[in-house]
Structure 1
Amino acid sequence: MVSIKDIAKQAGVSISTVSYALNGSDKVTDETSARILQIAKELNYVPNASARNLKKRETKILGVFLTDFRGDVYGDLLHGMKEISNALGYDLVVCSGKQSHKMLPERMIDGAVVLDQAFESEELLQYADFGHKIVVLDRELDHPNINQVLLDNKAGATLAIDYLRDKGHRKIHVVTGPEGSYDSTQRMKGVRLTAEHAGVEIIEIPGDFLKSGGVQAAERLMREYREPVAVFCLNDEMAIGFYNRLSDSQFRIGEHFHLIGFDNIEVSGYLQPRLATIEYSKRRWGELASQQLVKLITGEEVENERVYVKLIEGHSVGRA
């Protein structure tokens, strides 16, 4: 690979003179600059991006860190991030896994959007202390270099429990998310608080935010079935697993099992009967994340943002 040393040798000038010419500095004459640029062209010189980025301390790239890439939520989320990032002059790189965390301290990216349980909060706070800009979607952290764009999980859980209660259900089984999940924890806080105020009994069933969690919950509840059962799956993926397991049984959604989910992913609208669920704009969530991160990077004032939710009614829930 051709370096500026090669250009300097052929032009008979110093390395610093070549650097000035390549960067358009007025410290070299127009004649010398033109000659150096011509030699660089003839040698097919390609600037070293890593060195340039280190000097400028910017890459115009934003990093997005996800726990994994499964699930229908990520598509719209990333699309929203990409549209805003590109409009603001930035590209996106999407990562998962511990090794990718090095991209932030090594300044391979200008900032990070984090929706990744593998990122410890202490690690993020340490990076923020060193001046790195971060937007978190899955935790609450108080630091001037960290901004929060969070779902209103508690409000969504309240809407779900109230909907089942208004249909006459007084005992509700809740299929939870994976241990350590911020969204699952916050949704369960909303569930417990609402149930306590409404006089509703809550029975928790461990879940995993995957279809398999819904299948396992359905198998358990079918074995225990004595009367119509109300079920709140903390995401639609598990609700779909629940549907799938009941599809080859004598039980019917909306009659034997009254089911509501959370996320309103696209396939939920095609389920029969239509799945009741909690909706929010995944695309808007992504847009806000990119907007807030660029504001942090450019030194603009930012405040934490919240993504609001609403209830989507469906015939998957009938009267008790």
Structure 2
Amino acid sequence: MVSIKDIAKKAGVSISTVSYAINGNPKVTKETSTRILAVAKELNYVPNAAARSLKKQETKIIGVFLTDFNGAFYGELLQGIKEVLNKQGYDLIVCSGVQSHRLLPERTIDGAIVLDTSFSSEELLQYAERGHKLVVLDRELSHANVNQVLLDNKAGAALAMEYLIEEGHRKIYVVAGPEASFDSMQRLQAVRQVVNRHQPLAYTQILGDFNKSAGEEAAKQIIQEYTEPVAVFCLNDEMAIGLYNAVKKSEYKIGTHIHIIGFDNIELTQYTEPRLATIDYSKRKWGALASEQLLKLIDDKEIDHERIYVTLVKGNSVRTV
């Protein structure tokens, strides 16, 4: 690999002069700088980003950690993150998995936005204690170097359940997310609170994983147990779509025999017929706000925890004549 030492030797100048020229320092004349940069280009010199970031104590790169990349949820969230960061001169690295955690202690990134269950809360607090700046989207943590930008999961789940009950349903299935998911736990807590307020109510919980396949599996159980019209609250739209597709292939009708509501308002729900009910919020705004809060943390500005609010999108039913 070509170093500034090689450039200095060929250009006949000192190493410090090469460094000044490469970094645009006015201590070097325009003529000398042009000559040095021409030599650097001739030798195919590539600056050592790690060494440069160590010197400046910044990389201008933010890490976004996700549990996985499946489904239609992440695109808008990442777009919101990217737009804010790019305007402020930052780029982002999107990664997943335990091995990627080392980007924090290695200071490859200036801060992180975390929506990733592979991080334990204890691990994140250890990084925060060492001075790393973090914004979490999937848990509650208390530390000066950590900010929370959380979705109002409880309000959304309560809206969904109250909607089904107001529609006259007394038998409700709930298809949950992974057991380790903060969002799923928050939504289930709200579900149980609503159920307790509306007794007697037949309530059955089915374990899912936030993927379409879980909705398809849930449909098998619901169809097998079917004796009267039921409602199903899927804790995300991916599972709602899976359930919807499976029911459409059966003898039962969506909106007549089985009523479905999801959570996230992904684009695909708009094209179902009948249109699926769901819980809506701006994923782009969530990402943008997470970026804004992280940049404030990096600049040591005072910030408060933020919450992303939700609304109900009602579906339309199909009735038999």
TM-score (norm 1): 0.92
Q: Which residue of 2 aligns with 1:105?
A: 105
Structure 1 segments, 4+ long, off by >6 Å, are none
Provide the C-alpha distance between the structure 2 equivalents of 1:223 and 1:78, rounded to a whole number of angstroms. 39
SS of corresponding position for 2:106: coil
Q: Out of 39, 42, 46, which is 1:42 matched to?
A: 39
Q: Which residue of 1 aligns with 2:224?
A: 223
TM-score (norm 2): 0.92
SS of corresponding position for 1:144: coil
Q: Does 1:62 align with 2:55?
A: no
Q: Which residue of 1 aligns with 2:242?
A: 241
User: Among the aligned pairs, what percent are the same residue?
Assistant: 63
Runs of 5+ consecutive residues of structure 1 not aligned to the other structure: none
Provide the C-alpha distance between the structure 1 equivalents of 2:173 and 2:7, rounded to a whole number of angstroms. 72
Shift of 1:70: 0.8
Provide the C-alpha distance between the structure 1 equivalents of 2:239 and 2:213, rounded to a whole number of angstroms. 7
Shift of 1:40: 4.4
8 Å Cα contact 2:7-2:39 kept in structure 1: no
8 Å Cα contact 1:233-1:259 kept in structure 2: yes
Deviation string 1:64-120 (CA, Å, 9 cap, x unpaired) is: 111111111101111111111111111111111111111111111111111111111
CA spacing shift, 1:210–1:46, aligned 2, 3 Å:
closer
Q: Which residue of 1 aligns with 2:186?
A: 186
Provide the C-alpha distance between the structure 1 equivalents of 2:112 and 2:204, rounded to a whole number of angstroms. 38
Shift of 1:194: 1.6
Shift of 1:10: 4.2
8 Å Cα contact 1:236-1:261 kept in structure 2: yes
Shift of 1:238: 0.8
Aligned length: 315
Q: Which residue of 1 aligns with 2:268?
A: 267
SS of corresponding position for 1:89: coil
8 Å Cα contact 1:258-1:317 kept in structure 2: no
8 Å Cα contact 1:174-1:231 kept in structure 2: yes
SS of corresponding position for 2:187: helix
Runs of 5+ consecutive residues of structure 2 not aligned to the other structure: none
Q: Which residue of 2 aligns with 1:96?
A: 96
Provide the C-alpha distance between the structure 1 equivalents of 2:22 and 2:291, rounded to a whole number of angstroms. 32
Q: Which one-letter code corresponds to 2:291 in the other structure?
A: S
Shift of 1:309: 0.3
8 Å Cα contact 2:264-2:279 kept in structure 1: yes
Deviation string 1:116-150 (CA, Å, 9 cap, x unpaired) is: 11111111111111111111111111111111111
